[in-house]
Amino acid sequence: MKKALLRHILTPAIITILMLSCSGNSRYRALLDRADSLMAEHPDSAYALLASIDSADMSLQRKAVRMRYELQRAEAQNKLYTPFTTDSVLRRVVGYYDRHGSANQRLKARYILGCAYRDLHEAPIALLTWEEAIVAADTTAADCDFATLSRVYGQMAAIYMRQHLPEKQLEALMAFSKCALLNGDTLNYLRGLLQCNSAYYTLGDTAAIFTNSEEIHKQYLSLGMIQEAAKVYPTPIHVAVENGQFDRGRTMMDEYERSSGLFDEYGNIKEPSRVQYYYYKGLYYLGVQQTDSAEIQFRKLLPDSLHIIDACRGLLNLYQAKHNADSVYKYGRYYEEALSRHAETLNGEAVIQAEALYDYQRNERIARIQRQKLNNIYWMCAIAGLLFTAISGFTYYRYRIRKRLKEQEISILIKSVNQSENEKSQLEEDLVILSENLKASEDSRRLLTKKQAELKSVTAKLKEYEIRTKQEQASTMAGVLMDTEILKVFRTISAPRHQHEGSHLNIIPARIPSDEEWEILFATVRQYLPSFFAFVESALSRHTQEFKVALLTRLDFSNKELAALLDTSTSRISTVKEIINKKLFGKKGTKSLIFNLKHFDGLTT
């Protein structure tokens, strides 16, 4: 009676709780969908909507809803240029989407985490995280998030520029433009290409600046964007007048002043950020011997503290051309003073820039905590080392014993095979004799039947011994193969490693093997597993992804390690495994592939 009463009371209550939970999840999913639709054009509205959600209520929702909420909130914060102060929540988000997310979700989570490391002044870790984001992206998928992928490359280019790495900056900008184009974003594609001029100038590649600028100019014109087309010219104008190409510079200057929309009716620049053009124009006039016009342009820069060096340098060159000794002395002194102030400013900016890239105090605190932890576990490490040595010795001893027993077992099998072969030969001779005398004696017929049965039994036993011998030999060779140096190399390079140098932590990234390393691996597998290698090579073309994945899967490499070694995604590895299982064994899916590869005994035809 009591149980029935409790059942009548508790059942409706449980159903009510479940309905409220489901309705709550549904309501929050709708809010998150709304915030996602606002994110691109109105991130402030998206952030306000997400901030309006009660944190206590959100903590009661399913983990999938909570992780999506945290990722969207961080994305809105990043779009609003609000600096991150911690990476703890985003690391949990990345961990969740690594297990449960799509390629696009893993890409976005790592992109935002990299932005957090950027704001925490940990540029190396930010770059490493963005590299992981690039690996996580599935660029072969029809729904690949190329917009986020282009932002990843844009952030990397900005850090490479501050670190004065023009080659890496140029590489990242090219990838940024490519992804923008794949996303259908033509304007960002052209802006990325235009930013390459900065890297080209640092590298001294003036030809690339002209070629790049003219191509971008043509594409803007084809889109009907006349002003944007004219705005590509400041850098090539500077390069042209510096190299004495005054006619070329004059042509570009005319279009820049006429069509860019940056000049007022009197020919003055309306945007203060672009006044350095006066210096380029002054150099042009100086180069064509119009010194009065050059002086007007240089003097326009004198009130501007940011460009006073250009003004003094231009006036100094001008008065040297005029052979005006007093003015040369005057502006030479001004130029030296401006350079001195600029050097002091650069030193200060260098410190600020270094702090923007690396938070030395934070790293020092981390190192101090790490030292304390090391001191606390010193004796534990010593004991663990002794235990490891003892266990290693015991393991090696057991390995030697097992190896010796296996060799003895193989030897016994070989002797049994030889003995069975001798018995088979003797029985075959007896059968021949008995067959000849079959008609002469009924006893001989019965004996013949008995001998035939014995021959059949011995033949079956011989075949069993042969199969067991090959299996034992294959198992032994596979075990030895796992301890070869080339397998150790492949294990080492298939995943990032952490290396301590004093108090610093160096991260050695994964890399793809060289052609020579692949050839050594092929030769080693052929040596130790010849039947298996020949079987795979007969069905799969050598040096293809399928061939390499089949060999490495047989050697116990995970999908993540395979993706790193073959420079592709884990989803691509799964697809390749399906193809291999179908081609080699006629099976669908990937679940049976490892079993099929490991239980191949070299007898399959």
pLDDT greater than 60 at residue 369: no
Nearest alpha-carbon partner for 61 in 39, 35, 29, 107:
29
141 vs 386, higher pLDDT = 141
pLDDT greater than 70 at residue 111: yes
553-563 pLDDT per residue, tens? 999 999 999 99
What is the pLDDT at residue 564? 92
- Categorize the per-residue pLDDT at 602 as very low, low, confident or very high, splitting at 50, 70 and 90: very low
Nearest alpha-carbon partner for 561 in 580, 104, 551:
551
Structure tokens at 280: 């380029």
pLDDT greater than 50 at residue 595: yes
E-assigned strand segments in 29-173:
none
CA 176 – CA 192 distance, rounded (Å): 6
What is the pLDDT at residue 380? 67
CA 254 – CA 462 distance, rounded (Å): 95
Nearest alpha-carbon partner for 72 in 49, 95, 41, 100:
49
Contacts 24+ apart (CB under 8 A), 551-559: 551/521, 551/522, 551/525, 552/490, 553/577, 553/580, 553/593, 553/594, 553/597, 554/529, 554/597, 554/598, 555/481, 555/482, 555/487, 555/490, 555/525, 556/482, 557/490, 557/494
Tell me what the mean pLDDT of segment 503-528 comes to: 88
362 vs 266, higher pLDDT = 266
Structure tokens at 220: 């803007």
What is the pLDDT at residue 297? 84
Query: Any idea which of 215-224, 294-303, 453-462 has the lowest mean pLDDT?
Result: 453-462
Q: Report the 3 state secondary structure along 549-588.
A: HHHHHHCCCCHHHHHHHHCCCHHHHHHHHHHHHHHHHCCC
Q: Phi first, then psi: give them for residue 205, nearest 5 degrees.
A: -95, 80
Query: Any idea which of 48-57, 356-365, 411-420, 474-483 has the lowest mean pLDDT?
Result: 356-365
148 vs 380, higher pLDDT = 148
Tell me what the mean pLDDT of segment 485-512 comes to: 82
Provide the CB-side half-sphere exposure for 520 (13 A, CA). Answer: 12
pTM: 0.55
CB atoms within 10 A of CB 332: 16
What is the pLDDT at residue 2? 45
Q: Do residues 536 and 564 make contact, with C-beta atoms less than 8 angstroms apart?
A: no
Q: So where are the chain's domains?
A: 403-483, 500-598
Average pLDDT in the chain: 82
The DSSP secondary structure of 297-351, one letter per residue, reads HHHTTTT-TTSHHHHHHHHHHHHHHHT-HHHHHHHHHHHHHHHHHHHHHHHHHHH
127-172 pLDDT per residue, tens? 999 999 999 999 999 999 999 999 999 999 999 998 889 999 999 9
Query: Any idea which of 232-241, 378-387, 502-511 has the lowest mean pLDDT?
Result: 378-387
What is the pLDDT at residue 599? 81
Query: Any idea which of 109-113, 205-209, 323-327, 585-589 has the lowest mean pLDDT?
Result: 323-327
- Is the torsion defined by CA of 9, 11, 12, 18 positive or negative? positive
What is the pLDDT at residue 358? 55
Q: Do residues 560 and 570 make contact, with C-beta atoms less than 8 angstroms apart?
A: yes
Query: Any idea which of 128-132, 224-228, 369-373 has the lowest mean pLDDT?
Result: 369-373
Instruction: Report how far apart, in Å, the C-alpha atoms of 84 and of each of 122, 312, 351, 444 are.
Output: 12, 42, 21, 97
What is the pLDDT at residue 27? 80
81-100 pLDDT per residue, tens? 999 999 999 999 999 999 99
What is the pLDDT at residue 3? 47
What is the pLDDT at residue 520? 94
393-446 pLDDT per residue, tens? 776 777 778 777 777 776 776 677 677 677 777 877 776 766 666 565 666 567
Q: What's the residue count for the chain?
A: 605
Nearest alpha-carbon partner for 533 in 490, 584, 469:
584
